[in-house]
Structure 1
Amino acid sequence: MPSSSTAPAWHVLTGEYPPQPGGVSDYTRQVATALVRAGQEVYVWAPGDSGVHVEDGVTVHRVPGLFTPVGLTKLARGLDACAGPRRLLLQYVPHAFGMKAMNVPFCAWFAARRKDERWVFFHEVVYPWSPRAPLRHQVLAGTTRVMLRLVAGAADRVFVSIPTWAEHLPARVRRRAEWRPVPSTLPPEAAEGAVAAVRSALGPGPWLGHFGTYGALTVGPLEAVLVPLLRAGAERKALLLGRGSRAFGEALGARHPELAGRWVTRDSLAPEDVVAHLAACDVLVQPYPDGVSARRTTTMAGLALGRPLVTNTGHLTEPMWRGLGAVELVEGTAPEPLVAATERLLSDVAARTALGERAARVYRERFALERTLEALLRPGVEGTRS
């Protein structure tokens, strides 16, 4: 690691960056621009068509095939051409590095990059292993563990998005890993006029909201909660937000034609429009197959806006959620408790208001972008590499 009294420039390595969609993409831009506002010098290195441009004070380098051997050669030359000292901040997601999530060469390159300070934020860590899984999945599980050890063992500082990820780290690294929840990647406030306009356009409710990407593991639990809630009251409607919402709404209508016209989908909205629609909802319903956790930006978006939100525990849920009082939390993934909890909030305006106020307060205190920036700019945890 370079020794210098000069503050190092930040060089953020990421598999995606806007306009590429994705949670890591949005998070990386959010952190990069926040560092610039704090007076830091920031560069981002991401795959894409070759080019360099400055965006909100961040110098963005696009390198075709960034994590391939050819791309790594270009990356190394580009880094060496920048003045030192340099701090690499790797946004770690195995599948973002290509080679079917088994890019050992890139991880070896990172581990060997001793001339720079190396920090890692682990958004994801390893592919789950099972003795009953197909051989190709077992190979993937083993390879991602090799990659993890290479990167984590070389890192000067390590962050994890949820505490569970730290359990996969080598013991010496685990002791100094820092948990840093992911903040909302949307604006934390909605303009009152914009919210009023959305409510006027939507009409009377109550409106149940859901924000997500409608992946294969989520749509089943969501349907199992939404359908009985909508059937319980003809005046109830659902607002489905996020990429994939239109396709989900069409499939839902095909399976439940009696509920046709009871939901509105908004597939691709600008961030400020998403928050206006979220803020217009009476209750947000966010079931997760692995439980709510501090890496769920869809939950963080609702908390930041002070919306009453119903969600569930799972194997990735941190213990803190049971005591925060920031969400209406039910145990497990069965739909019936989620439906019952949502019914209680729909019938109690005061309870909804109080829950929303606690959500906003907890978000500001624990999860806001300002907390992430504080963590990045303060001295790290003492420890040695494995």
Structure 2
Amino acid sequence: MRIGQITGEYPPMQGGVGAFTQELSHALIAMGHECFVFTDHRANGQQHHKDDPIKVTADAHTWGWGALSRVRRWAQAQKLDVVNIQYQAAAYNMAAFVHILPMRLDNVRVVTTFHDLLVPYLFPKAGPLRYQAVLTLARSSDGVIVTNRGDYDRLTNEKSIPSLRHIPIGSNIKPELAPDYNRTVWRTALGFQPDEIV
């Protein structure tokens, strides 16, 4: 499957959503899929190792309405089967365009992963319309993933949210054992028996 991911941040930029997107892409590639990422120009796709199987397009100079046509062209050029929008309002500079993106991606299924439900900036005194923009994104997606229980509970109470799933995100820091690690020696030194639960 050809999977595209859209994220407002991506390594070497700082940010947990970008780091998560990179780890998810590597995991999907390990399962036999092809992964493509569209992100902020500051992620500079040229800096990514040429042997990295993730195909990064760092082409968003702003996340305004102009980004919409660039994302559409990218999705068509890559012949994507599905697009996963990694949503965190701050990563897109609180821009509004991302909220209508699923409606603008022709012939591509869209799954949106909400890392939070923070609302975008629309215009002064937009009030409740700001949350409606978030709901528009959720309702126009083919599937919705939330990363925490509070957001899941909140969206469960809304109408017409397709295929809502709660998938918690764990740490993306890979655990590494010390070079001299020996389970038996370490447990004995700490006073634990071989079969004792620690």
TM-score of the superposition, structure 2-length normalised?
0.77
SS in 1 for 2:79: coil
Task: Please state how far the C-alpha of 1:35 moved relative to its aligned partner.
Answer: 0.7
Q: Is the 8 A contact 2:101 2:137 kept in 1?
A: no
**Letter of the structure 1 residue corresponding to residue 5 of structure 2:** V
Q: Which residue of structure 2 aligns with residue 41 of structure 1?
A: 34
What is the rounded CA distance, in whole Å, between the counterparts of 1:144 and 1:114 in structure 2? 25
Gaps of 5+ in 2: 182-190
What is the rounded CA distance, in whole Å, between the counterparts of 2:146 and 2:39 in structure 1? 21
Choose which of 140, 147, 164 in structure 2 pairs with 1:177: 164
Q: Which residue of structure 1 aligns with residue 187 of structure 2?
A: none
What is the rounded CA distance, in whole Å, between the counterparts of 1:110 and 1:67 in structure 2? 15
Q: Which residue of structure 1 aligns with residue 179 of structure 2?
A: 192
What is the rounded CA distance, in whole Å, between the counterparts of 1:118 and 1:168 in structure 2? 21
Q: Which residue of structure 1 aligns with residue 115 of structure 2?
A: 123
Q: Which structure is higher in RCO with an 8 Å CA cutoff and minimum separation 6?
A: 2
Q: Which residue of structure 2 aligns with residue 213 of structure 1?
A: none
Aligned pairs for 1:152-163 within 5 A: 152-163=138-149
What is the rounded CA distance, in whole Å, between the counterparts of 1:20 and 1:30 in structure 2? 14
SS in 2 for 1:75: helix
Query: In the alignment, is residue 91 of structure 1 matched against residue 86 of structure 2?
Result: yes
Task: Please state how far the C-alpha of 1:142 moved relative to its aligned partner.
Answer: 2.9
**Letter of the structure 2 residue corresponding to residue 25 of structure 1:** G
Q: Is the 8 A contact 2:68 2:97 kept in 1?
A: no
SS in 1 for 2:56: strand
Q: Is the 8 A contact 1:104 1:143 kept in 2?
A: no
What is the rounded CA distance, in whole Å, between the counterparts of 1:51 and 1:17 in structure 2? 9
Which deviations, in whole Å up to 9, do the C-alpha atoms of 1:331-363 show, x marking residues without a partner?
xxxxxxxxxxxxxxxxxx87xxx78x4xxxxxx
Task: Please state how far the C-alpha of 1:74 moved relative to its aligned partner.
Answer: 1.7
Choose which of 5, 23, 37 in structure 2 pairs with 1:12: 5
TM-score of the superposition, structure 1-length normalised?
0.42
What is the rounded CA distance, in whole Å, between the counterparts of 2:153 and 2:24 in structure 1? 25
Task: Please state how far the C-alpha of 1:90 moved relative to its aligned partner.
Answer: 0.6
CA pair 71-112 structure 1, distance change in 2 beyond 3 A? closer
SS in 1 for 2:113: strand
What is the rounded CA distance, in whole Å, between the counterparts of 2:159 and 2:176 in structure 1? 40
Structure 1 vs Structure 2 CA RMSD:
2.9
SS in 1 for 2:61: coil
Structure with greater helix share of residues: 1
Aligned pairs for 1:209-288 within 5 A: none
Task: Please state how far the C-alpha of 1:147 moved relative to its aligned partner.
Answer: 2.0
Aligned residues: 180
Aligned pairs for 1:284-295 within 5 A: none
Query: In the alignment, is residue 29 of structure 1 matched against residue 22 of structure 2?
Result: yes
What is the rounded CA distance, in whole Å, between the counterparts of 2:51 and 2:40 in structure 1? 16
Quote the sequence identity (%).
21
Gaps of 5+ in 1: 1-6, 128-135, 196-348, 358-386
CA pair 110-65 structure 1, distance change in 2 beyond 3 A? farther
Task: Please state how far the C-alpha of 1:51 moved relative to its aligned partner.
Answer: 5.0
Q: Is the 8 A contact 1:125 1:168 kept in 2?
A: no
Which deviations, in whole Å up to 9, do the C-alpha atoms of 1:39-94 show, x marking residues without a partner?
1010011011565665631000001325222222222112211224x210011101
What is the rounded CA distance, in whole Å, between the counterparts of 1:30 and 1:150 in structure 2? 28
What is the rounded CA distance, in whole Å, between the counterparts of 2:39 and 2:69 in structure 1? 14
**Letter of the structure 2 residue corresponding to residue 39 of structure 1:** G
